[in-house]
């Protein structure tokens, strides 16, 4: 990118349209992509529609929709005219949506057809303008409505500054006073540029987008970054189930994908690991280190074919990747990259380049970002991670006191994450500061590390470690289908014998955990979590629901 161009979204995008106007930009998987020139035309026409609806710079405009090209067109139209985008996660409840609309003072909302029923249930603010995102038609009122027309252009010229507010991101709207992260044009556009230090991106790259655009991770890195580099982005148009995702991978043949750990962990446990564990002979061979590495390399080549055969970068972020799965990716020579960041940092702070493998590390700080450990422990070097750079948020919307708690006067953001740097400057995350459990003797217990051990046990899909009445308790969600198939004979003999076997499995699991963690982290009870844990957009378990 040309650094003489202002760090605003419209200025950066204008530069790309001039350079790559005829190149493909956004598309659904089965459709013809818009060129950058066509995309720009649609953005300008939508700005005109927003103007005709009476919207002005500084107004808040929400987006409640699943991923599609028009999501990006709406986001750019809002921000290019100096208004403020308020992306809403599709799985937000009606009450969460209402809280956010009220808190952000939203004046209009783009909504997809399938999610429009949520707006019908709002108790207040029914007067806000509703625009159907599929075709940009305006919901009917008594007055004559403006119409979206491709031949129209904005009536006004907009002088957007780098420090102008571009988006307010709400990670949750559960309470009556939700927390909105304010990101400026510079926060977002400079993150898109700094991320190129992890992996350069160009007009030949093809992205397949599978995470919600309303989350900062996918928004900044899976949408804004490729759009400011002349790349093309393809959307599924449906939930990323295997039956939808696998054909899309073969059709798009993406060079880049951003994902959360759960996606690759599921692929490993459901498709790869069974091939090495079903037959006794293969299972025994897989235990031998050099044979395992050969088998993993072969599996890695097949995995690359599954992803379309052209994959060069598989970004993983949002939560910690399982150690055993990462070990497989390393031995499979799979082009994965771990990143670390937060919504408050737009989001990227650290990233590991592909093939620069460092097990269980997120890599060093990206270009333009300073990081440090606050008050490091003398023995371990661990402490709260601090970060400073142009990507750190403006603050929390309407929350100056809360902002002052996390951003120091000299610009350091307190992440709330515990970690340490190794001798090469690679960051290793231990867990969230608020998740630490203090043991009976005052020792720090990291539940995420115990969970990492638990999740390596056969038939465990996911787990959560909590502190209950002075005891460490492991809640485990098991692969009941596998267990029922494995012990079908006992199930047929009766519930008592099946229950006895299940108790044996849980006892075996508890012994396995306690043999693989330090004495302070040993669990006193293992219980079954019947249903999958409730999760955030990046598939992190909502811990507060279970503590």
Residues 491/484, Cβ–Cβ less than 8 Å:
yes
Find all residues with CB under 8 Å of 376, minimum gap 6, and list them: 382, 383, 420
- 52, 160: one domain: yes
Domain end (from 161, 184, 207):
184
In 10 A of CB 493, how many CB atoms?
12
- 177, 287: one domain: no
pLDDT given at position 144: 77
Residue 176 domain-assigned (yes or no): yes
pLDDT given at position 490: 57
- 155, 295: one domain: no
- 489, 419: one domain: no
- 292, 346: one domain: yes
- 276, 329: one domain: yes
Residue 289 domain-assigned (yes or no): yes
Alpha-carbon torsion angle 182, 188, 190, 196, nearest 10: 140
- C-alpha to C-alpha distance for 49 and 77, rounded to whole angstroms: 10
Residue 232 domain-assigned (yes or no): no
Structural domain boundaries enclosing 472: 452-545
- C-alpha to C-alpha distance for 351 and 225, rounded to whole angstroms: 15
In the chain, the number of structural domains is: 3
- C-alpha to C-alpha distance for 327 and 354, rounded to whole angstroms: 14
pLDDT given at position 17: 98
Residue 170 domain-assigned (yes or no): yes
CATH of the domain at 493: 3.30.300.30
Domain end (from 167, 184, 201):
184
- 428, 531: one domain: no
CATH of the domain at 133: 3.40.50.980
Residue 383 domain-assigned (yes or no): yes
- 424, 293: one domain: yes
- 363, 457: one domain: no
Residue 445 domain-assigned (yes or no): no
pLDDT given at position 492: 59
| Reported pTM | 0.89
CATH of the domain at 276: 3.40.50.12780
Structure tokens at 63: 């987006």
Residue 201 domain-assigned (yes or no): no
pLDDT one-digit tens code per residue, 171-190: 865 445 679 999 999 999 99
Residue 79 domain-assigned (yes or no): yes
Structure tokens at 466: 């909590």
Domain end (from 384, 400, 434):
434
Find all residues with CB under 8 Å of 284, minimum gap 6, and list them: none
- 266, 158: one domain: no
- 69, 177: one domain: yes
H/E element, 315 = strand 313-316
Cα-to-chain-centroid distance, residue 160: 28
Residues of the chain with pLDDT under 50: 174-175
- 427, 401: one domain: yes
In 10 A of CB 334, how many CB atoms?
23
Q: What percent of the chain has pLDDT over 90?
A: 75
pLDDT one-digit tens code per residue, 440-490: 767 889 899 999 899 989 889 999 999 988 899 999 999 888 887 777 765
């Amino acid at each position: 990118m040309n650094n003489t161009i202002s760090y605003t979204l419209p200025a950066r995008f204008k530069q790309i349209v001039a350079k790559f106007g005829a190149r493909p930009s956004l598309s659904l998987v089965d459709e013809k992509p818009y060129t950058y020139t066509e995309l720009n035309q649609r953005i300008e026409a939508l700005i005109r529609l927003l103007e005709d609806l009476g919207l002005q710079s500084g107004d808040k405009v929400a987006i409640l929709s699943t991923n599609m090209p028009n999501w990006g067109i709406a986001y750019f139209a809002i921000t290019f005219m100096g208004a403020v985008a308020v992306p809403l996660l599709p799985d937000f409840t009606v009450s969460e949506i209402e809280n956010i609309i009220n808190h952000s003072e939203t004046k209009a909302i783009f909504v997809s057809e399938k999610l429009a029923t949520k707006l019908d249930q709002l108790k207040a603010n029914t007067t806000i303008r509703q625009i159907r995102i599929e075709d940009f038609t305006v919901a009917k009122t008594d007055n004559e409505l403006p119409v979206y027309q491709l031949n129209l252009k904005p009536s006004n010229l907009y002088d957007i500054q780098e420090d102008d507010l571009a988006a307010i991101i709400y990670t949750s709207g559960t309470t009556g006073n939700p927390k909105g992260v304010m990101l400026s044009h510079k926060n977002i556009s400079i993150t898109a540029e700094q991320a190129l230090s992890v992996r350069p991106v160009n007009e030949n790259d093809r992205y397949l987008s599978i995470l919600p655009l309303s989350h900062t991770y996918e928004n900044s890195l899976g949408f804004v970054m490729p759009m400011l580099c002349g790349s093309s982005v393809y959307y599924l148009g449906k939930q990323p189930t295997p039956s939808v995702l696998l054909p899309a991978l073969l059709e798009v043949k993406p060079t880049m994908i951003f994902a959360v750990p759960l996606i690759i962990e599921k692929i490993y446990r459901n498709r790869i690991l069974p091939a090495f564990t079903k037959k006794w002979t293969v299972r025994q061979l897989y235990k031998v280190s050099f044979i395992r590495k050969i088998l993993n390399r072969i599996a890695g080549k097949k995995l690359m074919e599954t992803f379309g055969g052209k994959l060069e970068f598989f970004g993983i972020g949002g939560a910690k990747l399982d150690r055993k799965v990462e070990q497989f990716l390393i031995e499979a020579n799979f082009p994965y990259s771990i990143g670390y960041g937060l919504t408050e940092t737009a989001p990227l702070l650290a990233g590991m380049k592909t093939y620069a493998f460092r097990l269980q590390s997120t890599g060093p700080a990206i270009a333009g970002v300073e990081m440090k450990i606050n008050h490091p422990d003398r023995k371990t070097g661990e402490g709260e991670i601090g970060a400073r750079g142009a990507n750190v948020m403006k603050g929390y919307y309407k929350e100056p006191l809360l902002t002052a708690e996390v951003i120091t006067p000299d610009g350091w953001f307190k992440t709330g994450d515990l970690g340490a740097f190794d001798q090469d400057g690679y960051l290793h995350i231990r867990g969230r500061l608020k998740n630490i459990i203090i043991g009976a003797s005052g020792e720090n217990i990291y539940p995420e590390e115990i969970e990492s051990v638990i999740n390596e046990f056969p038939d465990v899909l996911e787990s959560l470690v909590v502190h209950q009445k002075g005891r460490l308790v492991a809640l485990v969600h098991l692969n009941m289908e596998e267990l029922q198939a494995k012990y079908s004979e006992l199930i047929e003999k009766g519930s008592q014998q099946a229950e006895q076997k299940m108790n044996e499995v849980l006892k075996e699991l508890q012994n396995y955990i306690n043999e693989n963690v330090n004495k302070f982290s040993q669990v006193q009870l293992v219980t079954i979590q019947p249903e999958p844990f409730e999760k955030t957009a990046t598939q992190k378990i909502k811990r507060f629901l279970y503590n």
